[in-house]
Structure 1
Amino acid sequence: MTVSLHDRSMPAKAMGRFRPPSAFWLIAPAILFLAFFFVFPLLKLVAISLPDGSAEHYRQIFTTPVFLRVIGETFRVSLIVTVVTVAIAYPYAYAMAHGGRAALLVLTVALLIPFWVSLLLRSFSWIVLLQNTGLINDFLIAAGLIDRPIRLIRTPLGVIIGMVHILLPYAVLPLYTVMKKIDLRLMEASSICGASWLRGFARVYFPLSLPGVMASAILAFTLALGFYITPALLGSPRDMMIAQMIAGQFNEQLNFGLGAALAVVLMVLTAMAFGLFGAARAALQMRDRRKGEA
């Protein structure tokens, strides 16, 4: 009987002696901060989008052509911006990684300067540059390339230019981090084996830089989906993106339920896009692993 009581008291004593690991107390403030300022507002947003448990706002979004058009336009513009941004960021990051100390210093300063200027001011600067009497049209006319001003402002092209300029630093940094670790002697080895520079780049360097390309594309695309200020200043109402529509529902229409539903839809679509990029990256890594094993 004594042994039985002793055995029964063991779990209680073990529970009493349980102490959370010391690392838990280091991350506890961060967990509480995220729970209070991130998780709770998200749950509140979802609750507002479902008044009385009704999904009417979501039904309205996915059955109204104007909402579907805006969502499609948002993804179309974001995809174009991502492709253009990564295409420009790739050679820029290559020059930073392999261009020497002087080139690295100059390119790094040029890359970081935009962070010191507000997003609103940079967007207004593009209005000055892109308008019919702006510097770009004046230069093209003076060079004899065009006879009359080209409409660049209030067009999708103007929106894409402004968004690419703002997202470029975010795309360059992941690429530079990966490219800095690539040994250029691999390119020399490919040339010794008889491959041209272009073939060696396509077969050796570019595959090694793909993790940076994927990270750059994910960052640029997810940020582009939520752009508001730049499309509002450089685009037209026909080129409205979903963030502008969300702001309109909250600030102008005072339809908080529909605005919250649009915000939830944007978050879900962004998470799905992020998941697709992650799946593509995992597939590439698996392919490379199989090639290495073969």
Structure 2
Amino acid sequence: MTLDRLKPVLLLGPLVLFLGLAYFVPFLGVMQWSVTLPEPGIGQYGKAISDPLIHSVFLRTFRICLIVTVASVVCAYAITYVWVRGTPLQRLLTELCILIPFWISVLTRAFGWVALLSNRGLLNTWMQSLGIISEPLTMVRNEFGVVLGMTHFLIPFAVFPIASAMRSLDERVFLAARGMGASQMRTFWTIFVPITLPGILGAGLMVFVFALGFFITPAILGGGRSVMIAELIYLRIFQSPDWGLGAAVSVLLMVFVGVLLALLVRFVRPNRMLG
């Protein structure tokens, strides 16, 4: 093997080794729990597949993740458009709005939403003082609060794949469209959006996978009334305790994510999804 071919192996080898030790080896332990606890066999998988409670949690999780993905990608697309094609001042302000959330922990953001949206929070207090509402609105301890908190957290992650796709555009295409009489709106919907579609798919994939594993935000803003898969796994392992069932649910979730990634890689090239 020549030195040029050996360089990528040497550079990627430590990363692959770290990922294997940090993620793959522990996952093998979880898989072992799923077929050995409380007794050897695949009974826990049968229980996970047939349990109505687990069915409802899976359906709720997928519903919330889909809503969060759509909301995050739509908001991120508008923000990215200003970031890439706005004036220098608009780009600077947008970039600050994108980067600052990364400096704030997920726990701080979740409690910030509780302080803002709770029955005695800032928003309800303000609307009641202005006479807009007579009774406080319930905006936390339900799916609305979970979706809002998760969307707020995931929008910055959706921005970067979309920005990469927008920055790779050839401006001569838009000049040609305008020269042929297309309006700005028609140019946007028939040329700009289709060309950036791979970035939209990449952002949607990233947000959806991240949302599947969310724990802190749903636990705080959902208040135990909108339990998602990650919180269910935590409850089964640390509070029941039912390690075998919790491990089986974890494995099923990983299999679902793996199948989703395989399908997307099969039908959409990864380099196009990431712009």
Could you say what the CA RMSD is over the residues aligned between the two structures, in angstroms? 2.2
CA distance in 2, matches of 1:250, 1:170: 29
* Equivalent residue, structure 1, for 2:100: 113
Moved more, 192-201 or 41-50: 192-201
* Equivalent residue, structure 1, for 2:13: 28
Q: Spell out the pairing of 1:127-166 with structure 2 (5 A cutoff).
A: 127-166=114-153
Conserved 8 A contact 2:157-2:207: yes
1:275 maps to 2:229: no
Conserved 8 A contact 1:222-1:274: no
Conserved 8 A contact 1:187-1:197: no
**What is the CA distance between 1:172 and its match in structure 2?**
0.9
* Equivalent residue, structure 2, for 1:199: 186
Conserved 8 A contact 2:141-2:225: no
CA distance in 2, matches of 1:140, 1:28: 57
225, 235, 238: which one aligns with 2:212:
225
CA distance in 1, matches of 2:231, 2:88: 42
CA distance in 2, matches of 1:162, 1:177: 25
71, 74, 79: which one aligns with 2:66:
79
CA distance in 2, matches of 1:19, 1:218: 37
TM-score (norm 2): 0.89
1:50 maps to 2:35: yes
* Equivalent residue, structure 2, for 1:169: 156
174, 177, 189: which one aligns with 1:190:
177
Amino acid at match of 1:149: P
* Equivalent residue, structure 2, for 1:259: 246
Q: Which has the larger radius of gyration?
A: 1
**What is the CA distance between 1:19 and its match in structure 2?**
9.1
CA distance in 2, matches of 1:279, 1:39: 23
218, 225, 234: which one aligns with 1:247:
234
Percent identity between the two aligned chains: 35
**What is the CA distance between 1:74 and its match in structure 2?**
0.5
**What is the CA distance between 1:84 and its match in structure 2?**
0.5
More relative contact order in 1 or in 2 (CA 8 Å, sep 6+)? 2
**What is the CA distance between 1:185 and its match in structure 2?**
4.2
Amino acid at match of 1:102: L
* Equivalent residue, structure 1, for 2:26: 41
Query: SS of 1:258's equivalent?
Result: helix
Conserved 8 A contact 2:33-2:243: yes
* Equivalent residue, structure 2, for 1:13: none
CA distance in 2, matches of 1:84, 1:110: 17
CA distance in 2, matches of 1:116, 1:177: 22
CA distance in 1, matches of 2:190, 2:212: 32
Question: Which runs of no fewer than 5 residues in structure 1 stay unpaired?
Answer: 1-17, 286-294
**What is the CA distance between 1:146 and its match in structure 2?**
2.9
Amino acid at match of 1:256: W
Amino acid at match of 1:232: A
